[in-house]
Amino acid sequence: MAKYKVEIDRNLCVGDGACVNEAPGTFEMDDESIATVTNPDGNTPEEILAAAQSCPVDAIILTDAATGEKVWPQG
């Protein structure tokens, strides 16, 4: 089971691709150059968190799958 529920805010995503570089087993860019989640278990939780943190516009939302608490973005 995935540690995180992974969501992409498609309105915020600017197509930077940093998430794909950090966690290519979890993210890919679609034909509109917007990030999509292909497999929430495709990388380690640490790699997925690093991918979310690498997003320049915080378009990746991570929620702890067990508790429902928001993990990223913080604030």
- Residue 18 sits in a domain whose CATH number is 3.30.70.20
State the alpha helices, DSSP H only, in 1-75.
18-22, 45-54
Q: Domain containing 68: what range?
A: 4-72
Structural domain count, the chain: 1
**Order of strands, edge to edge, in the sheet holding 4-8?**
4-8, 60-64, 70-72
Name the pTM for this structure: 0.94
Tokens of 66: 């067990």
Mean pLDDT, rounded, for 25-32: 98
Q: What is the pLDDT of residues 41-70, one digit of tens each?
A: 999 999 999 999 999 999 999 999 999 999
